[in-house]
Amino acid sequence: MIQNFSLFNPSQTAHPVIRKFCCSSRQVLVRSLSDSENSLRLGYSYTVTERDKQHFRENGYVHLKGVLSEEEMDSLEEIYNGFLNKQLVDPSKLGKDFCDMSGDYNRPLSEFNIINIMLPSKYYPPLKGNLYEQRSASIAEQLCGEDMVMDYDQLLAKPPLKPEAVFHWHQDLAYWPVTSDTRTASFWLAVDDSNEENGCIRFVPGSHREPQLRPHLPLHGDREKSHTLVSKLRPSDQFVPAVLKRGDVTVHHERVVHGSGGNTTKTSWRRAYVIAYRSQSTVDEERRMGFTHSHNDAVEVLNEVGKEKLNS
Ligand SMILES: O=C(O)CCC(=O)C(=O)O
Ligand SMILES: [Fe+2]
């Protein structure tokens, strides 16, 4: 039943939700965009302004508004919910790739604070090539260069009433092997409006320019118990919450310090869809090491992450 899917060549046999997603994305090509949104979306691409590029360079992240329209989000959300309600994939088949980023691997699903689904398009291939992938790829190219390819995707959802859904402060590169070319554009798409109450992502602007990665420790002592690494903020660090509307994204650099607080709301979910782009040579280098961004990667490989060669 599941077929490979690309928006450029939509398969008639694709999942109905995907077909709908595909159709709504095609309409974008012919419909003019609302001026009030001041949107820079056009078909499969999104124009990044010089100001956005400068913000990304100087602060290590940038907030881009309206990367997906409300209608496009509706279709995407159906797929997202298919993961959460277990209709698209069976969580028991994902092993550690279906876990709680705030807890250890023994925590039962009913008690998850941050529902983390690694590599959704690997486990549900019809997701591949969706409109968000296309637009984020166009943005990654504008921010980081032509050789950027998708390295991994991830879903991160905080249900309401989860004050402990804290994503600890970290730099992404501390989670990855330090390859010769570390350039990254990490996209964080808000599936819900995201704010301080429901646990939006927060950045320490400029921290990506520090010469060395900060120390990170495994939250539960070792990477076999949980995937989570933790770094501490410094007294001088000032963080900025990224308050996003549904359909907005942030894009962040591999060294910027970031994290998020719990979801203290009674009714508001905080769902995010992450896609990271890195250079083709970096992705090849990672795969040669056996590093795929799956939490099921060998623990010996996971123990080699974040080790940088220090500049003399
Ligand atoms: O969703 C969050 O709160 C954090 C996500 C994150 O760390 C990332 O996308 O790199
Ligand atoms: Fe991160």
| pLDDT the model gives residue 309 | 79
Judge whether residue 124 has pLDDT over 60. yes
Pick the range with the lowest mean pLDDT from 37-46, 111-120, 139-148: 37-46
pLDDT tens-digit readout, 230-239: 999 999 999 9
Residue 54 CB burial class (10 angstroms; 0-12, 13-18, ≥19): exposed
How many angstroms separate the alpha carbon of residue 22 from the centre of ligand 1? 27
CA triple 116-271-232, angle to 5 deg: 65
Query: What CA–CA distances, in Å, run from 275 to 68, 153, 266?
Result: 14, 4, 28
| pLDDT the model gives residue 71 | 96
CA triple 159-161-166, angle to 5 deg: 70
Strand, coil or helix: what is 152? strand
Judge whether residue 181 has pLDDT over 80. yes
**Which whole number is the average pLDDT over 42-60?**
97
Q: How many Cα atoms sit within 13 Å of 146 on the Cβ side?
A: 0
| pLDDT the model gives residue 260 | 98
| pLDDT the model gives residue 117 | 98
**Which whole number is the average pLDDT over 25-49?**
63
Q: How far apart are CA 247 and CA 273, in angstroms?
A: 10
Judge whether residue 39 has pLDDT over 90. no
Judge whether residue 47 has pLDDT over 70. yes
**Which whole number is the average pLDDT over 193-209?**
98
Judge whether residue 17 has pLDDT over 60. no
Q: How many Cα atoms sit within 13 Å of 20 on the Cβ side?
A: 12
Nearest to 240 by CA among 12, 41, 62: 62
Instruction: State the pLDDT confidence band at 60, using cuts at 50, 70 and 90.
Output: very high
Residue 252 CA: nearest ligand 1 atom is: 10
User: Best substitution site from 61, 116, 250, 258 to test ligand 1's pocket, by max atoms within 8 Å of Cβ?
Assistant: 258
Strand, coil or helix: what is 205? coil
Instruction: State the pLDDT confidence band at 21, using cuts at 50, 70 and 90.
Output: very low
* Token duo for residue 194: 């995201």
263 CB within 6 A, ligand 1: no
Query: Is residue 195 within 8 Å of 243, Cβ to Cβ?
Result: yes
How many angstroms separate the alpha carbon of residue 81 from the centre of ligand 1? 19
172 CB within 6 A, ligand 1: yes
Q: How far apart are CA 197 and CA 59, in angstroms?
A: 24
**Which whole number is the average pLDDT over 191-215?**
98
User: Best substitution site from 198, 260, 273 to test ligand 1's pocket, by max atoms within 8 Å of Cβ?
Assistant: 260
**Which whole number is the average pLDDT over 79-107?**
96
Residue 172 CA: nearest ligand 1 atom is: 10
How many angstroms separate the alpha carbon of residue 188 from the centre of ligand 2? 9
Residue 167 CA: nearest ligand 1 atom is: 3
Query: What CA–CA distances, in Å, run from 310 to 171, 182, 211, 307?
Result: 17, 14, 9, 9
Q: How far apart are CA 126 and CA 122, in angstroms?
A: 9
Higher pLDDT, 12 or 244: 244
Mean pLDDT of the chain: 89
Question: Parallel, antiparallel, or unpaired: how do β-strands 61-64 and 249-252 relate?
Answer: antiparallel
Amino acid at 50: E
165 CB within 6 A, ligand 1: no
169 CB within 6 A, ligand 1: no
Pick the range with the lowest mean pLDDT from 24-33, 74-83, 142-151, 223-232: 24-33
The arrangement of strands across the sheet holding 240-241 comes to 167-170, 257-260, 201-204, 240-241
| pLDDT the model gives residue 38 | 52
Q: How many Cα atoms sit within 13 Å of 290 on the Cβ side?
A: 9
Q: Say what the pTM is.
A: 0.90
- Ordered domains of the chain (ranges, CATH): 16-302 (2.60.120.620)
Percent above pLDDT 70 for the chain? 87
Ligand approaching nearest to the C-alpha of 171: 2
Q: How far apart are CA 242 and CA 204, in angstroms?
A: 11
Judge whether residue 132 has pLDDT over 80. yes
Residue found by looking up tokens 């989000």 in the block: 73
| pLDDT the model gives residue 311 | 57
Residue 201 CA: nearest ligand 1 atom is: 3
**Which whole number is the average pLDDT over 180-204?**
98
Residue found by looking up tokens 């009714």 in the block: 267
Tally of CB atoms within 10 A around 85: 8
Judge whether residue 7 has pLDDT over 70. no
Judge whether residue 2 has pLDDT over 90. no
User: Best substitution site from 168, 219, 274 to test ligand 1's pocket, by max atoms within 8 Å of Cβ?
Assistant: 274
Strand, coil or helix: what is 142? helix
